[in-house]
Amino acid sequence: MQLTNKSTKLEIEIIKWLKTNQLQLKEQLEKSTIIKREYSGAGFFFEFSVPKNVTKIKNAIKRINGPSIKSSLLPNGANSIIFLEDGHISTLEVFGYDNIFPEEINEFKLCENEIKK
């Protein structure tokens, strides 16, 4: 995947974490393009474009948990989820539990997602 010079350290590390810890996403993440990025104040969204010839994720999964985020700037932490449509990644959502999420976080730790699977 092509991350742009607008990509933050957190965004880059989340994508790396997903490629390492959610291996079924690796090919799609490597071949996809971010077509839209939106910051909401409570988190951010990426929308992806995945080439149609990339192998689909089987079993009609609708979402895959990404990493949880710990940071002193996020008092109650944050989480991430990848949403899929027709077997391809469509959206990455990252959200803070306090409905507040700084536009840039440089000190953080990524860990297993705390959302029940």
**58 pLDDT tier (thresholds 50, 70, 90):** confident
Q: Provide the pLDDT for residue 5.
A: 53
Q: Provide the pLDDT for residue 103.
A: 87
CA angle 91–96–100, rounded 5-degree value = 115
Encoded tokens for 30 = 């490597």
Q: Provide the pLDDT for residue 68.
A: 96
Please tell me the pTM assigned to this model: 0.87
Which of 1-10, 35-44, 97-106 is least confident? 1-10
Domain ranges of the chain: 9-111
Within the chain, strands assigned E span 33-39, 43-49, 63-65, 68-71, 74-85, 88-96, 109-111
Task: Tell me the sheet residues that pair with 17.
Answer: none
